[in-house]
Amino acid sequence: MTRFKRYLITSALPYANGPIHIGHLAGVYIPSDIYTRYLRLRQREVIHVCGSDEHGVPITFKARQEGITPQQVVDRYHEMNRSSFEKFGISFDIYSRTSNKIHYETASGIFKTLYDKGEFIEKTTPQYFDEEAGQFLADRYIQGTCPRCDNENAYGDQCEKCGSSLNATDLINPRSTISGSAPVMRDTRHWFLPLDKYEPFLKKWILEGKKHWKPNVYGQCKSWLDHGLQPRAVSRDLDWGVPVPLEDAEGKVLYVWFDAPIGYISATRELTAEWEKYWKDSDTRMIHFIGKDNIVFHCIVFPSILHAGGSYILPDNVPANEFLNLENDKISTSRNWAVWLHEYLEDFPGRQDVLRYVLCANAPETKDNDFTWKDFQARNNNELVAIYGNFVNRAIVLTHNYFGGRVPGRGDLTDYDLKVLGTMPVIRQNLEDSLEQFRFREALREAMNLARLGNKYLADTEPWIIFKSDPERVKTILNISLQICASLSVITEPFLPDSAARLKEFLNTGEMEWDKAGDRDLLTAGHAIGKGELLFEKVTDQEIENQISKLLATKEQNVKGKSNLPPVKENISYEGFSAMDIRTGTIVSAEKVAKTKKLLKLTIDTGIDTRTVVSGIAECFDPEEITGMQVSILVNLEPRKIRGIDSQGMILMAEDTDGKLVFVSPADKIENGSVVK
Ligand SMILES: [Zn+2]
């Protein structure tokens, strides 16, 4: 590791359209913060950069929904998340934002460099355009009828009623959500990053050169590279983002995936005039901390941009984590299934270190992992309180009781004493080895082993029993115990910064170098220590019950929302009903409608005639399996053209609240054309 002069640590830029939850913290920001704090303690030259990712359609969409500007959306969440990070001790050197001017300059500068070098491919493709509003429409800005479930308010990327993912061109009767008018197809020009062209470089760099990366990261990269890469659009038509810095590119901005990682460079420029030494000097070791959903962007796409740019270094490592679940269920913003940092701060004020501890001890380093409140309580009460806190408290209190708060000198050492003193530097060494390999759970276990060592040493030597008969021996025991406390205040700092600072205050030591941890003479005899307090408090059953009932209420709410059948429609007259001519018919043939995912073209023998019906059921049924089935069909529905096919009638389907579809068929075979009434 000595070949690098300095470190550049980046943490994934959180998207500024929602608050931060424990999954983010466990996956990215706790490991990156532990690592950075460790490097700082070792006196290495390091900066840690992060910031809000503030562009993209979800932000403009949220703004439109709430009737505010995109800037107001990102201002709100930028401030909220910046403050949460600060309160949890995530010690960025800068927390910037991609709506800053310096980022516009950096991102458009890099686009221009690649453009001038002829790296981009230019392509013209048709896209929906709103003639009234005079703008191209991102998928989210188009609504229409879902071809699968007939929901009239499905979006161009997804139907929220039946959950199917859609293409904007799948929608029946599409309309713009901006003006309400029907959009038209219009050609639009965009620039693409030819990832396929960089494949040889990426293969050599990753598959040959990065075999030491975590298996989950290396494996995902290999899978992408094995499947072959495609050019990827770097621009889109939107009015929120970094404008494409070219003539005739009005209304076009950089695609958010292109501009966001460049935010790391912008943040570094904002932090220091010497930014180039962090980004362009091969003596710098760059490490990206991210979650697994970001692997492709940080290992394939961003390195391709940097490589094409020509003068930038590439990441040395990308220790991505897997996902954290909550109480055996996937963390979900839309289902509100999460522990939000701003809520934790309200419920457990001043106890940020406990969450840091639990999330590190349980980090999803090699596989998805589960956070449970019971485990949170157990780890706090049985580990932080019973081992670490208990040991420190006893050592400090006994020193005050017996020696007026001054560190007593050591006398003759027993074999046990020597063993304990000899173990301390070994623990520090193990911890370093784990951290250098991004094994944070293991590293934390080592740190706690030092507390365990001290706690057991006191329990075994029982100074409170032998003080009367052998006070000299007690001097030695407490001296050694206090040396352990001092080392603990150093090596736990990356994990538990608040508690480590308090412990240093109790011991009255001030800052100590990392390399001193494990030393048997960190505290000199006669040094006056302060009065301690409890380092950690128990988490009560009541506190845990409160959290669990909060989650149960969320779950109930979600289930209720789901099983709510649609309300009964208004009454109609019998005449109204009998106006509908529903008959039995048989599906004679069925085939998929070309270039759609959902549509089947059915030929139905209605007994009266043979007719064509287009039905949005292709995702639920194979053409072969429904051919020959008897169904119910509304035969006097006004014909309409769907994808150029005249659809004459509608097949009756029953749909449950999950969007599952079944045919409404006669229970027994009956003559085609029979009236359903
Ligand atoms: Zn639908």
* pLDDT tens per residue across span 498-516: 999 999 999 999 999 999 9
Q: How many CB atoms lie within 10 A of CB 332?
A: 14
How far apart, in whole angstroms, are the C-alpha atoms of residue 77 and residue 54? 9
* Alpha carbon distances (Å) from 474 to 399, 407, 455: 10, 11, 15
Average pLDDT estimate for 410-431: 97
Q: What are phi and psi of 413, to 5 degrees?
A: -105, 135
CA angle 205, 206, 208 (to 5 degrees): 75
Tell me how far the alpha carbon of residue 27 lies from the centroid of ligand 1, in angstroms. 33
Q: What are phi and psi of 676, to 5 degrees?
A: -95, 120
Tell me how far the alpha carbon of residue 335 lies from the centroid of ligand 1, in angstroms. 19
Tell me how far the alpha carbon of residue 551 lies from the centroid of ligand 1, in angstroms. 29
Tell me how far the alpha carbon of residue 633 lies from the centroid of ligand 1, in angstroms. 20
Tell me how far the alpha carbon of residue 238 lies from the centroid of ligand 1, in angstroms. 26
Tell me how far the alpha carbon of residue 239 lies from the centroid of ligand 1, in angstroms. 29
Tell me how far the alpha carbon of residue 569 lies from the centroid of ligand 1, in angstroms. 20
Residue list, CB under 5 A from ion ligand 1: 146, 148-149, 151, 159, 161-162
Q: Which of 154-163, 197-206, 463-472, 584-593 has the lowest mean pLDDT?
A: 154-163
Tell me how far the alpha carbon of residue 602 lies from the centroid of ligand 1, in angstroms. 19
pLDDT higher than 80, residue 569: no
668 burial level (CB within 10 Å; 0-12, 13-18, 19+): exposed
Q: pLDDT > 70: what percent of the chain?
A: 98
Q: Which two tokens stand for residue 597?
A: 């995912």
Structural contact between residues 395 and 478, judged by C-beta atoms closer than 8 angstroms: yes
Q: What 8-state DSSP symbol labels residue 402?
A: H
Tell me how far the alpha carbon of residue 140 lies from the centroid of ligand 1, in angstroms. 15
How far apart, in whole angstroms, are the C-alpha atoms of residue 144 and residue 152? 5
246 burial level (CB within 10 Å; 0-12, 13-18, 19+): middle
Tell me how far the alpha carbon of residue 153 lies from the centroid of ligand 1, in angstroms. 9
pLDDT higher than 60, residue 315: yes
Band the pLDDT of 562: cuts 50, 70, 90: low
Tell me: the pLDDT tens digits for 219-258? 999 999 999 999 999 999 998 999 999 998 988 999 999 9
Tell me how far the alpha carbon of residue 161 lies from the centroid of ligand 1, in angstroms. 5
How far apart, in whole angstroms, are the C-alpha atoms of residue 40 and residue 60? 39
Helix/strand number for the chain, H first, E second: 23, 26
How far apart, in whole angstroms, are the C-alpha atoms of residue 494 and residue 32? 10
Tell me how far the alpha carbon of residue 126 lies from the centroid of ligand 1, in angstroms. 24
Tell me how far the alpha carbon of residue 623 lies from the centroid of ligand 1, in angstroms. 20
Tell me: the pLDDT tens digits for 524-556? 999 999 998 999 999 999 999 999 999 999 888
DSSP per-residue string spanning 549-603 = HHHHHHHHHHHHHHH-PPPPPPP--HHHHHTS-EEEEEEEEEEEPTT-SS-EEEE
How far apart, in whole angstroms, are the C-alpha atoms of residue 181 and residue 496? 56
Can you name the residues that pair with 232 across neighbouring β-strands?
Answer: 193
Tell me: the pLDDT tens digits for 269-314? 999 999 999 999 999 999 999 999 999 999 999 999 999 999 999 9
Tell me: the pLDDT tens digits for 629-641? 999 999 999 888 8
How far apart, in whole angstroms, are the C-alpha atoms of residue 312 and residue 278? 9
Residues 6+ apart with CB under 8 A from 147: 166, 170, 171, 172, 596, 598, 599, 616, 642
Tell me how far the alpha carbon of residue 598 lies from the centroid of ligand 1, in angstroms. 10
pLDDT of 212: 94
Tell me how far the alpha carbon of residue 163 lies from the centroid of ligand 1, in angstroms. 6
pLDDT of 563: 52
Residues 6+ apart with CB under 8 A from 163: 658, 659
Residue type at position 223: S
Q: Which residue, 45, 32, 40, 41, is CA-closest to 5?
A: 45
Is the pTM here over 0.85, yes or no? no
Tell me how far the alpha carbon of residue 146 lies from the centroid of ligand 1, in angstroms. 5
Tell me how far the alpha carbon of residue 151 lies from the centroid of ligand 1, in angstroms. 5
Tell me how far the alpha carbon of residue 493 lies from the centroid of ligand 1, in angstroms. 52
Tell me how far the alpha carbon of residue 61 lies from the centroid of ligand 1, in angstroms. 20
Tell me how far the alpha carbon of residue 599 lies from the centroid of ligand 1, in angstroms. 12
Tell me how far the alpha carbon of residue 675 lies from the centroid of ligand 1, in angstroms. 29
Tell me: the pLDDT tens digits for 106-132? 999 999 999 999 999 999 989 999 998
pLDDT of 658: 64
Tell me how far the alpha carbon of residue 159 lies from the centroid of ligand 1, in angstroms. 5
Tell me how far the alpha carbon of residue 655 lies from the centroid of ligand 1, in angstroms. 11
DSSP per-residue string spanning 99-132 = TSHHHHHHHHHHHHHHHHTT--EEEEEEEEEETT
H or E segment and range at residue 370: strand 369-371
Tell me how far the alpha carbon of residue 162 lies from the centroid of ligand 1, in angstroms. 4
Where do the H-state alpha helices sit in 462-540?
A: 463-466, 471-491, 497-507
pLDDT higher than 70, residue 460: yes
162 or 505, higher pLDDT: 505
Tell me how far the alpha carbon of residue 168 lies from the centroid of ligand 1, in angstroms. 13
Tell me how far the alpha carbon of residue 9 lies from the centroid of ligand 1, in angstroms. 43
Tell me how far the alpha carbon of residue 73 lies from the centroid of ligand 1, in angstroms. 29
Can you name the residues that pair with 528 across neighbouring β-strands?
Answer: 406
91 burial level (CB within 10 Å; 0-12, 13-18, 19+): middle
pLDDT of 574: 84
Tell me how far the alpha carbon of residue 652 lies from the centroid of ligand 1, in angstroms. 16
How far apart, in whole angstroms, are the C-alpha atoms of residue 119 and residue 191? 10
Q: What 8-state DSSP symbol labels residue 27?
A: I
Tell me how far the alpha carbon of residue 167 lies from the centroid of ligand 1, in angstroms. 12
Tell me: the pLDDT tens digits for 69-118? 999 999 999 999 999 999 999 999 999 999 999 999 999 999 999 999 99
pLDDT higher than 70, residue 396: yes
Tell me how far the alpha carbon of residue 666 lies from the centroid of ligand 1, in angstroms. 25
Can you name the residues that pair with 586 across neighbouring β-strands?
Answer: 605, 630
Tell me how far the alpha carbon of residue 618 lies from the centroid of ligand 1, in angstroms. 12
pLDDT of 567: 64
Tell me how far the alpha carbon of residue 183 lies from the centroid of ligand 1, in angstroms. 20
DSSP-based three-state secondary structure for 312: coil
Tell me how far the alpha carbon of residue 622 lies from the centroid of ligand 1, in angstroms. 18
Residues 6+ apart with CB under 8 A from 340: 19, 20, 21
Tell me how far the alpha carbon of residue 143 lies from the centroid of ligand 1, in angstroms. 11
How far apart, in whole angstroms, are the C-alpha atoms of residue 510 and residue 430? 25
DSSP-based three-state secondary structure for 310: coil
Tell me: the pLDDT tens digits for 326-377? 999 999 887 889 999 999 999 999 999 999 999 999 999 999 999 999 999 9
Band the pLDDT of 134: cuts 50, 70, 90: confident
How far apart, in whole angstroms, are the C-alpha atoms of residue 184 and residue 531? 75
Tell me how far the alpha carbon of residue 455 lies from the centroid of ligand 1, in angstroms. 61
Tell me how far the alpha carbon of residue 447 lies from the centroid of ligand 1, in angstroms. 53
Tell me how far the alpha carbon of residue 380 lies from the centroid of ligand 1, in angstroms. 46
Average pLDDT estimate for 567-593: 86
Tell me: the pLDDT tens digits for 641-663? 888 889 999 999 988 766 778 89
594 or 388, higher pLDDT: 388
Instruction: Tell me the pLDDT of the chain averaged across its residues.
Output: 93
Q: pLDDT > 90: what percent of the chain?
A: 79
Tell me how far the alpha carbon of residue 339 lies from the centroid of ligand 1, in angstroms. 30
Tell me how far the alpha carbon of residue 152 lies from the centroid of ligand 1, in angstroms. 8
Tell me how far the alpha carbon of residue 559 lies from the centroid of ligand 1, in angstroms. 20
SS3 content of the chain, % helix, strand, coil (to 5): 45, 20, 35
